[in-house]
Amino acid sequence: MRTAVVVGVIAALIGAVLIAGAGDEASPNPYVVIGLVNGAAYGLIALGLVLVYKGARVFNFAQGEFGTLAAFIVYVLIEQVQGTEIPYGIAVLVAVVGVTIVGLLMERIVVRPLLNAPRITVLVATIAFTLLAVGVQVLLFLPEAKNLPGAISAVDAEGTPRGPEIFDYIIEPQQLLIVGVLGALAVILGYFFSKTDLGLAVLATSQDAFATRVVGIGVERMSRFIWGSAAFLGAVAGVLFIPVNLALAPGVMTSNALIPSFTGAVIGGITSLPGAFVGGITVGVIQQLAGWASQNYHFGETALQELIPGFPSVALVVVLLLVLLARPQGLLGTEA
Amino acid sequence: MATATETLPAAQTHERWHPTVTGWLARIVVLLVLLGGLLLVTAIVPQFWADRISLAVIYAIIGLSLNIVLGYVGQVSLGHHGFVGIAAFVAAYYATEKAGCAPEVGCDVTTFFVSLLFAAASGAIAAGILGLVALRIKGLYLALITLAYGFMAETSIFEISALTRGGAGMPAARPDGFTSDRAFAFLCFAFLAVVVYVDWRLIKSKVGRAILSLKHSEPVASSYGINVTAYKVYAFTLSGLFAGLGGGLFAFRATNVVSNDFNFATALLWVLMVVIGGLGNRTGVIIGSAFFALFPFLFELIKPLEHYVRDTLGREPGFFAIVLGALLAILTIVQYPGGIAQQLSPITRWLRGERFSMHPEGHGRHRRAGHGLKARLRSRHTPGAAAEAESGSEDHDEPEGLAPAESPELAAETERMAAAITTTTESAEDASEGTDASEGKPAPARKRTRSRKASS
């Protein structure tokens, strides 16, 4: 019920902005549309964050790096393998499976020994893992930006942009793909956690590992499952998001997408899967609207941009603070 | 035959072992040789190595600053690059824009100290604000807030061109008399000494004990009348003060501050160097920080290796620092939660005036935990148990999680707290048991099984 209300209100707000801005010269509409699409990617990462939080009660700082790793694997397979042409789909499949294995290894080597350690220890361990992943990428690929092509090219053979035009903005097919994948995954995960035995077992583990063991659920198996699926989600997010928005460089998802995703997960409620979806999109739109505002608002002679550099990130931090102070459990979460 | 009452043997008081006069002299000599050696090395190495040593010293100051939040209060700060960066820019801004220092003109020492003062103050204010937020936000969420704070500093504050002069950077001329790298390194050592002294005195004081108690349990701390929120803000502010000092020195060491020096990866590396050094342990943190500052340059000492890395592999030696640091951090967290401090503890304990032992845990004050009423009662029935208790337990060999490696103050505090709590609810006999329980170890049970083995 609350989910429906919150989703309705946010959709109505975004719709109102879109309608109000229609036809205007300096309209924020293209920004809003970009925000929706970026937000979908943030939501995808936030899904992974929420999954780990629900299962292990910890913030997974390595979530972004799963994405960068997957993108690098795709890059190597399609750009650097000589001789045979590897289809994009196969490359993505290899990358996602590979990163899922990395996630399982991380669970075994880093997380499992800390099953009974304080949560803050596990958090530092995920930070260490993040830095390890970034370091390995820097060693292998140097700190240079690379260009990773998308699954579907944004322009057709004649060079005209593909995709539907909404409010003066042409959405690339890849961006549509992100939105679609996010929606599908949110529904699947929502069903998984509320209806299936395995999903309920994962939730039980997160609440009381000892009691769960007593009733015959393998805590280790659950932990493996959680981190494997988190890595899977991170890999999917990276492979989809990096081609449209970012240049591929070591640690790019951590520095560009992790903080907005965390903000999204917290806004939506760190324990709520639909919340990750809603929060991610909200953050994407807020960020873009702030970017629009910083270019179009003027105080006397100085633009907001010059007054407060990096206004989008300031807006993000302010929103995060307000949510944490006023409603730490987020819009859709049930507990803090 | 049994009497209704039984007279217990008189409590044995164990005199603390003290070294002889020669022993003390040996310890003092070793300490002086270590410190003197450090200064001597700084005095004789080439200037560019002196410059790197000053970087190591600045890292040590930053490490100690982070240690207050991470090691003493038990919170994660991922925004320390924000504090250090703000302070560095404030120092450079004051020296260059307000006092008119420039590389050609030079800079007088008073200006230098004033700008350091401003740097430390700005770091303290920046961290104090964050501390105020921390009043309501706890645990993992606080890590998120510090992360967002650092992100904001990076993308917004460091982009204010009046303060940072954009990408070109803000110059910060070194003060007259300290323009050479070597002289500046000694200056950094002096500041490190001050920071270490303040940190040491702080932890010995009432305030320090209050801050240390926050890590274990905030409800327990507040039930003892400790103002949890005030001490948290205090700890954050102090951490920011040290970070600001480190940032100011960083600015004058670099002589030109660019915002690229302070990024998220740096903040992560700082967290790792404190964890690897050993949370809550001053010596460990200093060594860990210095190690991370100097590691990228160590390749230069082995020329063939450096050539191999640079020319054949085409990689900067610094890249390896990230990978190795992360690997060490994982190893530390998973296998040796005490970090470097734990490895060094036989030496540091010896220097502090205790018997040299590779298993220092058994000889410290913790031993008293095994000498409660129960241990003595047991020893009357099972001859082996006495020796068992005597040789100390392994209770503390494996600190749980990110427990500080070697912090007798902390252990004593916990001991005192736990003992007080258990004695109010249970009999005094269980006090020693409660102490062990508070450390999260089933030690008494283990001891009992062992003593049974010994008697059979």
Mean pLDDT score across all residues of chain A: 82
* pLDDT at residue B108, as a whole number: 82
* pLDDT at residue B411, as a whole number: 52
| Contact assessment for residue A332 and residue A272, using Cβ atoms and an 8 Å cutoff | yes
Mean pLDDT for A16-21 is 72
Largest alpha-carbon pair distance within chain A?
A: 69
pLDDT of residue B359 exceeding 80, the answer is no
Taking 3-state DSSP, the helix, strand and coil percentages for chain B, each rounded to the nearest 5, stand at: 75, 0, 25
Top-confidence residue, B401 or A157: A157
Least confident of A222-231, A269-278, B112-121, B187-196: A269-278
Largest alpha-carbon pair distance within chain B?
A: 97
| Candidates A128, A308, A321; nearest CB to B145 | A321
Taking the mean position of all CA atoms in its chain, how far away is CA B425?
35
A334: contact with B, CB 8 A cutoff: no
A309: contact with B, CB 8 A cutoff: yes
| Contact assessment for residue A230 and residue A103, using Cβ atoms and an 8 Å cutoff | yes
| Candidates B143, B156, B327; nearest CB to A310 | B156
**Is the whole model's pTM more than 0.90, yes or no?**
no
pLDDT of residue B66 exceeding 90, the answer is yes
| Contact assessment for residue A186 and residue A42, using Cβ atoms and an 8 Å cutoff | no
pLDDT of residue B385 exceeding 60, the answer is no
Which residue intervals of B217-315 are DSSP H helices? 218-223, 228-254, 264-277, 282-301, 303-307
Top-confidence residue, B217 or B284: B284
pLDDT of residue B399 exceeding 90, the answer is no
| Percent of chain B with pLDDT strictly greater than 90 | 16
Closest approach of A68 to chain B, Cα-based (Å): 15
Instruction: Judge: A132–B323 Cβ closer than 8 Å, yes or no.
Output: yes
pLDDT band, residue B55 (cuts 50/70/90): very high
Which tens digit of pLDDT belongs to each residue from B311-358? 777 777 777 777 888 888 888 888 887 778 888 888 888 888 777 777
* pLDDT at residue B437, as a whole number: 39
| Percent of chain A with pLDDT strictly greater than 90 | 14
Top-confidence residue, A155 or B409: A155
pLDDT band, residue B404 (cuts 50/70/90): very low
Top-confidence residue, B197 or B2: B197
* pLDDT at residue B387, as a whole number: 42
The residue of chain B with its CA nearest to that of A53 is B140
Which tens digit of pLDDT belongs to each residue from A77-119? 888 777 777 888 888 999 999 999 999 999 998 888 887 777 7
B155: contact with A, CB 8 A cutoff: yes
Least confident of A23-27, B48-52, B102-106, B221-225: A23-27
Q: Within the 254-283 window of chain A, which residues sit less than 8 Å (CB to CB) from chain B?
A: 254-255, 259, 262-263, 266
Which residue intervals of B45-138 are DSSP H helices? 47-67, 80-93, 109-133
Q: Within the 213-252 window of chain A, which residues sit less than 8 Å (CB to CB) from chain B?
A: 251
Which tens digit of pLDDT belongs to each residue from B362-379? 444 444 444 444 444 454
Which tens digit of pLDDT belongs to each residue from B412-430? 555 555 555 444 444 433 3
Taking 3-state DSSP, the helix, strand and coil percentages for chain A, each rounded to the nearest 5, stand at: 75, 5, 25
Go through chain A and tell me how many residues it has: 336
The residue of chain A with its CA nearest to that of B163 is A309
Return the closest-CA partner of residue A265 out of A22, A63, A70. A63
Closest approach of A187 to chain B, Cα-based (Å): 27
Q: How many whole angstroms separate alpha carbon A49 and alpha carbon B223?
A: 35
Go through chain B and tell me how many residues it has: 456
The residue of chain B with its CA nearest to that of A314 is B152
Q: How many CB atoms neighbour CB B228 within 10 A? A: 16
* pLDDT at residue B360, as a whole number: 52
Top-confidence residue, B317 or B239: B239
End-to-end CA distance of chain A: 20
| Candidates B140, B320, B337; nearest CB to A59 | B140
pLDDT of residue A197 exceeding 50, the answer is yes
| Candidates A119, A255, A328; nearest CB to B264 | A255
Whether the ipTM is more than 0.85: the answer is no
* pLDDT at residue B249, as a whole number: 92
A74: contact with B, CB 8 A cutoff: no
- Beta partners for residue A302, in sequence order: A299
* pLDDT at residue B107, as a whole number: 78
The residue of chain A with its CA nearest to that of B263 is A255
Burial class from Cβ neighbours inside 10 Å (0-12, 13-18, 19+) for residue B167 reads exposed
| Percent of chain A with pLDDT strictly greater than 70 | 90
Q: How many CB atoms neighbour CB A311 within 10 A? A: 22
Mean pLDDT score across all residues of chain B: 75
